[in-house]
Amino acid sequence: MSRQAAQPAQPLLQELWQTKAWRLFPLLFMYMTGLTLLVPHVPGIMNDYFAQRRAGHTLRCDELPTDAPVLDMAACRDAHADVVLWSSWTSFFSNSLVSIVLTPLLGHWSDLHGRKPFFLVAQACSCIPLTIVLLYLTYDVPLLWYYVVQVFISSLSSVTVSLAFIADLLSPANRTATFGLIMAMLSVSVIVGPAAGAAIDPISAALAALAVVGTCALYTLFILPESLSPQAIEAARTRQQQQQQQQQQQQREAGGSSSALQRSASGVVATSTLRAARILLRSPLFKRLTLCMMLLGVVSEGLQDLLIQYLKLKLPSFGVADVSHIFMIFGACGLLVQTVVLPNLLRWLGEQRVLVVSLAASSVQQLILAAAPSKNIALLGLGVGSLGSMSFPTISSMKSINSQEHEQGSVQGALYGARALASGTGPLLFALLFALFTKTDSPLPYFPGAPFVFGFVLMLVAMAVASTIPSNAGGSAGSIEARQVVSAGGEGSGDGEALLHKSSRVQTPSEDGAGIEAAALWPSAGLTARRSRDLEGGGSGSGSGIGVLAAAGEPGGVSDRSRLSS
C-alpha cells in the first residue's frame, strides 16, 4: 500500500517537504528545459538533411538565394514532405505498436525495481537522439538513425514515472494538486528551454542539452529519493510470483500446451477489445462522444507532425526564433486555458457547450493556418487553437458522469484506446495530404494548406455531432473541482493502467486513489505523459509546434520526445 494511503492528509506543502517529493520539481524543470534547448534548431536541420539527400550535395535551405538552381529549390521544397512522412511513420510505429507493448511492461518493472532506475533509463535514452544530431552536425552521421531510435525509445517517459513517484509518496487528497503543479512546471520549462536554445548555435545547444541531462542523472542518483518502500517492492514481487504460479497452473490445466495458453490469452485480448467497443457504442450519447473524440484525435495528432514544416514551407522567413515563439505561445496559452479559462467556462456553460466552443476554436484555428499569410497571423491561429485543448477533458468528463461507478476504469480505458487508434492514423493522413499538395512531382496543384482545410472539415463534423448532445449530459452543476471528483470517482484498474501505464501504484485501485487523481488530471497529466515521450526521445516529429503543447482538441502538455522538433 502507498506509504501515505492510510494517513490523514497533511497540508500540501508540508507533505511535499516531509516526503521529499519536492525534489522532483527541480529535476523535471531542469530536465525538460535541457531537452528543449535543441528543439528550435531541429526542424531546419531535418529539412536541410532531406534536401541534401535529394540534391546530392550540401544545402542550407533557409539560406538559399532566390536565384538558386531550380533543382535545389525543388529539393528544399520536397524535403518538407519527406520530414513529415518520416516523422509520421515513426509516430505510427512508436505510438501504435511499440508503446502498446512496452509501456505497460516498463510500469510493471518499475513496481518491481523502484522508480529511480527508470528515471535514469529515460535520461540515458534521451541522450541518444541528441547525440545523433550532434554527430550529424560534426561528423555527418546519417540522421535517419534519429527516426529509428525514436521508434524504440518512445515508451520511456520520465513524466509517467513522475506521476507514479507522486502517487507513491503523497496522500490521495494532495495528488491532484501536485499533478497540476507538475504540469505547470513542465509548461514553464517549454517556454524557457526553446527561448534559450534559439539564442545559441545548434552544436552548442546539443552540447548544453547533453550536459543538462547528465546533471539530471547525477541529481537522480544522489538527491532524488526512491519513492517505493522496500516493503512495497517486495509486495509487488510477491504478487508477480503468485501470478506466475497461476499461469503455470493454467498451463497444467490446459494439458501443458503452450499453444492452448496462448489461445486463452488471445481470447482475453479479443474479449477486452469487444468490451471496449461495446462501451463506446452502447448508447447514442457515447457514440457521439466517441466520434467527437476520434475526430479530435485525428486532427490534433496530424497537426503535431506537420505544423512547423508547413510554416517553414509557406513562410520562408520562418526561422529558429519563430519556432521558440511557438513554444512560448503554447506554453503560456495552454497554462492559462487549463488553469483559468476551462474551470470558469465549465461553471458558466457546462460541459456540452464548452465542448462546442472548443471545437469551434479548433475549426477557426484550422482556417487561419490554412491561409497563414504572415507569421503573426499564424501565431494568432495557434493562440486561438489553444482553446481547443478543452475538448478532450469535457468528453472524458461527460463519459465518466454518464457511467456507473464500477465501470469508470473500463470506460476511460476504452476511451483511451479509441484515441490511441486516432493518434496512429491522424499523422499519416495529414502527411499524405501534405505530400500530395506540395511535392514538385505531384499532379495536384500546389496548396500546402490542404491538410488544414481537411482538419477544418473534420472539426465542422465534430461540431455538428457535439451540438446534438443534450446540454445536461455533463452534469454541469457545481464547481470544476466537484466535477473532477465525479469524473474520477470509482476509477478502476483499467483507467489506472491506461493513464499511468500500470506504474502509478503497487496496491489495487480500490486501495489507492492514484488512478483517480490521474484521471481527474487526464487532460493535463495523461496527455502530457504521452507528450513526455515525445521530448524524451529527442523529437520524432516533423516539427509541429504542438508536439509540446497541443492545440486542436488536446490540452497543453510536455513531451519527452518532442514532435515539434523535427
Assess whether pLDDT exceeds 50 at residue 515.
no
pLDDT at 63: 87
Among 197-211, 240-254, 310-324, name the most confident range: 197-211
Confidence class of residue 313 from pLDDT cuts 50, 70 and 90?
very high
pLDDT at 100: 62
Confidence class of residue 352 from pLDDT cuts 50, 70 and 90?
confident
**Which whole number is the average pLDDT over 250-254?**
71
CA torsion through residues 65, 71, 77, 79, sign: negative
Task: For 162-216, write each residue's pLDDT tens digit.
Answer: 878 888 888 887 886 787 788 788 888 989 999 999 999 999 999 999 999 999 9
Task: Calculate the CA 190 to chain-centre distance.
Answer: 14
pLDDT at 259: 55
Q: Closest Cα partner for 111 from 292, 232, 247?
A: 232
pLDDT at 410: 54
Q: pLDDT higher for 16 or 556?
A: 16
Residue type at 476? S
3-class SS string, 408-466: HHHHHHHHHHHHHHHHHHHHHHHHHHHHHHHCCCCCCCCCCCHHHHHHHHHHHHHHHHH
Q: Is the distance from CB of 315 to CB of 372 less than 8 angstroms? A: yes
Task: Calculate the CA 523 to chain-centre distance.
Answer: 10
Which residue do the cell numbers 490534433 mark?
300
**Which whole number is the average pLDDT over 351-361?**
91
CA torsion through residues 70, 76, 77, 78, sign: positive
Left (φ > 0), alpha (ψ -120 to 50) or beta: where does 490 sit?
A: left
CA distance 397 to 384: 23
CA distance 133 to 145: 9
Assess whether pLDDT exceeds 70 at residue 358.
yes
Angle ∠(494,169,560) on CA atoms, nearest 5 = 65
Q: Is the distance from CB of 544 to CB of 303 less than 8 angstroms? A: yes
CA distance 87 to 204: 24
In this structure, what DSSP letter does residue 95 have? I
In this structure, what DSSP letter does residue 551 have? -
Q: Closest Cα partner for 538 from 253, 152, 201?
A: 152
Confidence class of residue 125 from pLDDT cuts 50, 70 and 90?
very high
Assess whether pLDDT exceeds 60 at residue 498.
no
Q: Is the distance from CB of 555 to CB of 296 less than 8 angstroms? A: no
55-59, 94-98, 107-111, 347-351: range with lowest mean pLDDT: 94-98
In Å, what is the CA distance from 359 to each residue of 13, 197, 384? 37, 33, 11
What lies within 8 Å, CB to CB, of 517 at 6+ separation is 167, 172, 175, 176, 179, 488
173-182, 256-265, 358-367, 371-380: range with lowest mean pLDDT: 256-265
Beta strands in 192-247 (DSSP E): none
Direct distance between the N- and C-terminal alpha carbons of the chain, in angstroms, rounded to an integer: 42
CA distance 555 to 235: 36
Task: For 110-124, write each residue's pLDDT tens digit.
Answer: 788 888 998 999 999
Q: Is the distance from CB of 396 to CB of 409 less than 8 angstroms? A: no
Burial classification of residue 269, based on how many CB atoms lie within 10 Å of its CB (0-12 exposed, 13-18 middle, 19 or more buried): exposed
Phi and psi at residue 556, in whole multiples of 5°?
-65, 135
Residue type at 122? A
**Which whole number is the average pLDDT over 372-380?**
92
In Å, what is the CA distance from 380 to each residue of 330, 371, 385? 11, 12, 9
Q: Is the distance from CB of 539 to CB of 169 less than 8 angstroms? A: no
Which residue do the cell numbers 494568432 mark?
380
**Which whole number is the average pLDDT over 142-169?**
84
In Å, what is the CA distance from 26 to each residue of 21, 90, 185, 227, 493? 11, 31, 9, 16, 31
Confidence class of residue 510 from pLDDT cuts 50, 70 and 90?
very low
Q: Is the distance from CB of 549 to CB of 207 less than 8 angstroms? A: no
28-37, 114-123, 375-384, 554-563: range with lowest mean pLDDT: 554-563
Q: Tell me the domains of the chain and their CATH numbers.
A: 18-239+283-536 (1.20.1250.20)
Q: Is the distance from CB of 216 to CB of 123 less than 8 angstroms? A: yes
Q: What is the mean pLDDT of the chain?
A: 76
Instruction: Please compute, for residue 539, the number of CA atoms within 13 A of its CA located in the half-sphere on the CB side.
Output: 32
CA distance 501 to 525: 12
